Amino acid sequence: MNRREFLQRAAFATVAGSAMSGCKRLAAIPQAPPGQPLFKISLAEWSLHRTLAAKQMDHLDFPKIAKNDYGIDAIELVNQFFKDKAKDKGYLTEFRNRAHDLGVRILLIMIDDMGHLGDPDPAKRQRAVENHYPWVEAAEFLGCHSLRVNAETGNVGTFEDQQNRAADGLRKLALLARDHHLNVIVENHGHLSSNGKWLSGVMRQVNLPNLGTLPDFGNFYDYDRYQGVAEMMPFAKAVSAKTHDFNKRGEDTLVDYHRMMRIVLSAGYHGYLGIEYEGENISEPEGIRLSKTLLERVRGEFQNIG
Is 295 domain-assigned?
A: yes
- The CATH number for 217's domain is 3.20.20.150
Is 12 domain-assigned?
A: no
In this predicted structure, what is the pLDDT of residue 21?
44
Is 111 domain-assigned?
A: yes
Q: Average pLDDT, stretch 170-195?
A: 97
Is 2 domain-assigned?
A: no
Q: Does the pLDDT at position 144 exceed 80?
A: yes
Work out how many domains the chain is built from and give that number. Answer: 1
Is 26 domain-assigned?
A: no
User: pLDDT category, 8, cuts 50, 70, 90?
Assistant: very low
Q: Does the pLDDT at position 6 exceed 50?
A: no
Q: Across the chain, what does the average pLDDT equal?
A: 92
Q: Does the pLDDT at position 27 exceed 70?
A: no
CA distance 197 to 174: 21
Question: In this predicted model, what pLDDT tens digit does every residue of 235-281 receive, in sequence order?
Answer: 999 999 999 999 999 999 999 999 999 999 999 999 999 999 999 99
Domain limits for position 182 = 36-301
DSSP for the chain, please give it: --HHHHHHHHHHHHHHHHHHTT-S--S--PPPSTTS-SSEEEEEGGGGHHHHHTTSS-GGGHHHHHHHHH---EEEEEGGGGTT-TT-HHHHHHHHHHHHHHT-EEEEEE--SS--TT-SSHHHHHHHHHHTHHHHHHHHHHT-SEEEE----TT-S-HHHHHHHHHHHHHHHHHHHHTTT-EEEEE--SGGGG-HHHHHHHHHHH--TTEEEE-BTT--TTS-HHHHHHHHGGGBS-EEEEE--B-TTS-BSS--HHHHHHHHHHTT--SEEEEEE--SSS-HHHHHHHHHHHHHHHHHHHTT--
Question: In this predicted model, what pLDDT tens digit does every residue of 49-88 receive, in sequence order?
Answer: 999 999 999 999 999 999 999 999 999 999 999 999 999 9
Question: In this predicted model, what pLDDT tens digit does every residue of 91-133 receive, in sequence order?
Answer: 999 999 999 999 999 999 999 999 999 999 999 999 999 999 9
Is 31 domain-assigned?
A: no
Q: Average pLDDT, stretch 163-185?
A: 98
**Whether the predicted model's global pTM rises above the 0.75 cut:** yes
